[in-house]
Amino acid sequence: MKLAIQIVLYHRSKHFMKLLASLEKSDLQYFELFCYENSVNQEEFRKSKSILEASGLIHHILTGNRNIGFGNAHNALWRLHEAPFVLLLNDDAWLTPLFLEKALQRMEADQKTAAVSGLLYRWDGSADPCATAGTFIDTAGLEYNCLADIRDRFAGQTMKDIGDALQEPKEIFGVSGAIALLRRSAVERVSPEQLPFDPSFFMYKEDVDLAIRLRRGGFISWYEPMAVAFHQRGLKLGTKTWFARIQEERKRPKVLRQASLLNQWKLDIYHASVKLGWRDIFKSMVHEAKRKVLTFLSSPTVFFFAAEAFIISLPATIRRRRLLKQLLPDVRLSGASTRGEEGSRAS
């Protein structure tokens, strides 16, 4: 098996058929599906299993007696196979027929490529979606501003806003976990557990941590515009005023906001280094201050719960930082690829 597709399901059985229908139409068919039903609901599990069986696709499905989170569900699926290439696929995604073929071609063009992102548009859930010049972009990979600010490229913009830059394949900082093609050997090389995600992350920022680790390991990520997909993202397109941002923040479930804040603080501990450069460190401090103020103003309880959880997890967070320093060199993350930097241990 050359390609494994991993899908974590969470109360998505009614959308699952659309996702599988897009996979059935793929020009590339040599893959197996590995699914984890995380809803802790036997009825949801039965529905998902029935939909998989009706699809005729080669599949495997797991469930458990508790919600183990996005990252650990993917970690559990990762252990089930040894496929050299793995596509992480959200349950609210839809792939165009050429997606798998084009993403794999980009991955195989360079042995140093560890991750590939396609061009992901926002999806309204309609059957057979089609992108126009005015369709909002979900992500074209991750871009690095500073350690505390790593975001989706072109998110909330449209093709007519961006122009030709959207059509150019290019090296990027990392890939979004919503739809991400990964090279197993590279991912396992940069993980103490030989798994894609930090087991302590319940949800959010797992893909950012992986992108940083791959970068520190000397690997690269690519954006492939010919690999087009759609994603039903639940978050806003973007607001600029503080009042609007506070309003948007309060609409998100508290558990999600807490996880996002907690995991960002862990990332800061894991990867902070003088090698980042003083400009990066200063920008990160300013960005973190703004994040804390925004979270506190929008929901003080979220801020204090996240702070308490961070203090409790601090000894384990510091131990993991030590493991990562033994495994990976500290490098400057901004700017060009870390390939060729002295001290890279990827080879």
* Same domain? 92 vs 218: yes
Asked if 313 and 266 touch (Cβ cutoff 8 Å), the reply is yes
**Lowest model confidence (mean pLDDT) among 86-95, 122-131, 140-149, 232-241:** 232-241
- The answer to whether residue 153 sits within a structural domain is yes
Instruction: State the Cα–Cα distance between residues 20 and 275, nearest whole angstrom.
Output: 44
Q: Is 158 exposed, middle or buried (0-12, 13-18, 19+ CB in 10 A)?
A: middle
Q: How far apart are CA 266 and CA 272, in angstroms?
A: 10
Higher pLDDT, 106 or 245: 106
- Same domain? For 176 and 262 the reply is no
Listing DSSP states for 240-252 in one string gives: -SHHHHHHHHHHS
Last residue of a domain, one of 197, 231, 265: 231
What is the band of 187 on the pLDDT scale with cuts at 50, 70, 90?
very high
Task: List the structure tokens of 60.
Answer: 């495997």
Neighbours of 67 (CB within 10 A): 15
Q: Are 176 and 139 in contact (CB under 8 A)?
A: yes
Q: Are 261 and 202 found together in one domain?
A: no
- Phi and psi of 173, rounded to 5°? -70, -45
| pLDDT mean over 234-249 | 53
Predicted TM-score (pTM) above 0.85: yes
Q: What is the pLDDT of residue 107?
A: 97
pLDDT at 319: 97
Indicate whether 336 belongs to any domain: no
224 and 279, same domain (yes or no): no
Query: Is the model more confident about 236 or about 219?
Result: 219
Report the b/e string of 111-132 with b at 16+ CB within 10 A: eebbbbbbbbbbbeeeeebebe
**Ordered DSSP codes for 282-311:** HHHHHHHHHHHHHHHHH-HHHHHHHHHHHH
Residue 337 or 1, more confident: 1
140-161: average pLDDT: 92
**Res. 234 pLDDT band, cuts 50 70 90:** low
Average the pLDDT over 138-145 and give the result.
Answer: 95
pLDDT (average), residues 97-126? 94
The answer on 135 and 79 residing in a single domain is yes
Q: Residues 279, 152: one domain?
A: no
pLDDT at 61 over 60: yes
170 and 258 share one domain: no
- Which amino acid, 244? A
DSSP assignment of 316-328: HHHHHHHHHHHHS
Share of the chain above pLDDT 90, in %: 67
Binned at pLDDT 50, 70 and 90, residue 102 comes out as: very high
Residues 215 and 252 in one domain: no
Q: Check if the beta carbon of residue 230 is closer than 8 Å to that of residue 277.
A: no
Closest CA to 263 of 319, 215, 197: 197
Within this chain, do residues 275 and 210 fall inside the same structural domain, yes or no? no
User: What pLDDT, on a 0 to 100 scale, did the predictor assign at position 344?
Assistant: 38
Q: What single-letter amino acid sits at 67?
A: N
The band of 241, judged by pLDDT with boundaries at 50, 70 and 90, is low
- Residue 61 dihedral angles phi and psi, to the nearest 5°: -135, 135
What's the domain count of the chain?
2
Give mean pLDDT, residues 327-334: 94
Residues in the chain: 347
Phi, psi (deg, nearest 5) at residue 257: -65, -40
* Same domain (yes/no): 191, 280: no
Each residue's pLDDT tens digit, 294-306: 888 878 898 999 9
Residue 233 pLDDT grade (very low, low, confident, very high; cuts 50, 70, 90): confident
* Residue 153 to residue 289: CA distance in whole angstroms: 23
- The pLDDT confidence band at residue 184, using thresholds 50, 70 and 90, is very high
Domain with 101, as residue range(s), is 3-231
pLDDT above 70 covers a percentage of the chain that reads: 90
21 and 112 in a single domain? The answer is: yes
Residue 115 sits in a domain whose CATH number is 3.90.550.10
- Pairwise CA distance, residues 347 & 341, whole Å: 12
| Cβ count near 226 (within 10 Å) | 16
For residues 197 and 2, give the distance between their C-alpha atoms in angstroms, rounded to a whole number. 21
Please compute the mean of the pLDDT values over residues 44-65 and round it to a whole number.
92
Query: What is the reported pLDDT for 79?
Result: 97
**Other CB atoms within 10 Å distance of the CB of residue 241:** 8
Nearest CA-CA partner of 7 in 43, 51, 66? 51
Query: What's residue 236's pLDDT?
Result: 46
